[in-house]
Amino acid sequence: MKTKITELFGIRYPVVLSGMSWISVPSMVAAVSNAGGLGILATGPLHPDETRAAIREIRKLTDKPFGANATLLFPGAARNAKVLLEEKVPVINFSLGKGDWLVKAAHEYGGKVVATVVNHRHALRAAEYGTDALLVTGHEAAAHGGDVTSLVLVPSIVDAVKIPVIAAGGFADGRGLAAALALGAEGIAMGTRFMTTKESPLHETFKRLSVEKDVTDTLYSVRFDGLPCRVLDTPAARRAVRKGLDLPAAFVNSREIAAMLRLPYAKLCVGVMASGWKNAKQLAFMANAFKAIRIATESGDNEKGVLTVGQVTGLVRDVPTVAELMERMVAEASRVRERLDTAIAGS
């Protein structure tokens, strides 16, 4: 397959692994890159030393292009982003913040930068300061999809910018890949589908649930992590949404996060409070959500853990290897193209 995205990144297929905390680890990143896509390392749960080690591990596991993400709202994200630049990561994907400084620094060594966006305003702003591509996330997506569905959001942003668009939210197979290309996107990003593969470190309990659940089995609420967020519909998720922000728990969980990221807790607290109540409240929400997601991913605890998944979980019906999934998707996309060629020619 050949699109602007395959040419931009030097990959075989226009398929990207979303950077998912505790799932998009080096082995998973390498599996996707070795299968012809672009693996993206999730750096959110990592401190800089771990980020550097993860990048070097990926380079031992694959000689193919790969990327890493920086969720700029997270504590410690800027430190990790600087490591990505120092290690000259081929593709940097940023979200939830302004990444103009990343674009400038990455371009100095020939790196590419992708901004994750959910609306026109952010898309246009990212394009203005030189981002190489946009990862456009529709309403169907896991975690922080936008207000508009991919079917409408993707072509509307394709029409508004001159840089390539990667579609995210609602994609799990070759039909989705073909549909995204028809909408004007140059590729797709997948999280939910990739997390239910053999190489994925997601706990088997949640792999099983992902296969069993239907397209209606997700919850979308601002009461889980403070942003509009989509998660798997489970009793634990319903309790979390019903309860909303738990400040006492946030203080405890933020201590764990500070230790995990090797950030001085007092300094972290002062910085958070100085940023204003709105931002402090958001980070408190995320401290609790962070722990719930980690418990689900690593421990498979369905009583306390909450997993972010997209509506596309209802299309997931097996647990293939990454390579099997990629080859199957490409073959299916080719069959869709042939069917469409016949249908259009017949008109």
What pLDDT is recorded for position 287?
Answer: 83
- For 197-218, letters b (16+ CB in 10 Å) and e give bebbebbeebbebbeebeeebb
Given this model, what pLDDT does residue 166 score? Answer: 98
pLDDT of residue 273: 60
- The secondary structure of the chain in percent helix, strand, coil, rounded to multiples of 5, reads 50, 15, 35
CA distance 16 to 271: 34
In three-state secondary structure terms, 41 is strand
Average pLDDT value for residue range 63-76? 90
Indicate whether 336 belongs to any domain: no
Whether residue 162 is found in the same domain as residue 279: no
**Looking at the structure, do residues 138 and 218 belong to the same domain, yes or no?**
no
* Statement to judge: residues 284 and 172 lie in one domain: no
Q: Is residue 335 part of a domain?
A: no
- Tell me the average pLDDT across 38-51: 94
User: Using one digit for the tens of pLDDT, what is the confidence trace for 270-329?
Assistant: 666 666 657 677 777 888 888 999 999 999 998 999 999 999 999 999 999 999 999 999
In a domain, 306, yes or no: no
Given CA atoms 249, 78, 107, 61 in this order, what sign does their dihedral have? negative
Q: Per-residue pLDDT averaged across 333-346, rounded?
A: 91
- Taking residues 234-240, report their average pLDDT: 95
Does residue 197 form part of some domain? yes
CA-CA distance, 132 to 154, in Å (whole number)?
16
Other Cβ atoms less than 10 A from the Cβ of 270: the count is 11
Question: What is the C-alpha separation between 237 and 294, in angstroms, rounded?
Answer: 13
Give 146-179 pLDDT, tens digit per residue: 899 999 999 999 999 999 999 999 999 999 999 9
Please give the pLDDT value at position 251: 73
Residues 231 and 95 in one domain: no
Q: Are 225 and 184 within one domain?
A: no
Among residues 157, 184, 201, the one where a domain terminates is 201
Q: Give the residue, 269 or 188, on which the prediction is more confident.
A: 188
Question: What integer is the mean pLDDT of 202-231?
Answer: 95
In a domain, 338, yes or no: no
Which letter, b or e, does each residue of 113-147 get, where b requires 16 or more Cβ atoms within 10 Å of its Cβ? Answer: bbbbbbebebbeebbeeebbbbbbbbbbbbbbbbe
| 73 pLDDT tier (thresholds 50, 70, 90) | confident
Rounded to an integer, what distance in angstroms lies between the CA atom of residue 57 and that of residue 46? 14
Mean pLDDT of the chain: 93
The mean-pLDDT minimum among 36-40, 123-127, 311-315, 341-345 falls in 341-345
**Residue finishing a domain among 262, 280, 299:** 299
Which pLDDT belongs to residue 265? 59
Residue 112 falls within a domain, yes or no? yes
**DSSP secondary structure of 55-74:** HHHHHHH-SS-EEEEEETTS
CATH code, domain carrying 100? 3.20.20.70
My answer on whether 218 and 84 are in the same domain is no
Q: 3-state class of 261 per DSSP?
A: helix
Whether 130 and 256 map to the same domain: the answer is no
Assess whether pLDDT exceeds 70 at residue 190. Answer: yes
What values do phi and psi take at 95, rounded to 5?
Answer: -150, 165
Is 311 within a domain?
no
Judge if 117 and 174 occupy the same domain: yes
Among the three residues 178, 201, 224, which one is the final residue of a domain in this structure?
Answer: 201
pLDDT in tens, 247-286: 888 778 777 777 776 776 566 666 666 666 576 777 778 8
Check: CB of residue 182 under 8 Å from CB of residue 171: no
Closest CA to 118 of 221, 228, 248: 228
What would the two tokens of residue 117 be? Answer: 């966006």
> Does the residue 321 lie in any domain?
no
> Are residues 248 and 172 part of one domain?
no
266/151 same-domain check: no
For residues 193 and 222, state if they share a domain.
no
Going by pLDDT thresholds of 50, 70 and 90, the confidence category of residue 4 is very high
pLDDT value, residue 264: 67
Same structural domain, 173 and 227: no
* Sign of the alpha-carbon torsion through 50, 55, 56, 57: positive
15: which 2 tokens? 């398929």
Q: Supply the range of the domain harboring residue 276.
A: 205-299
Counting the structural domains of the chain, the total is 2
Residue type, 105: A
Look at residue 8 in the predicted model and tell me its pLDDT. Answer: 98
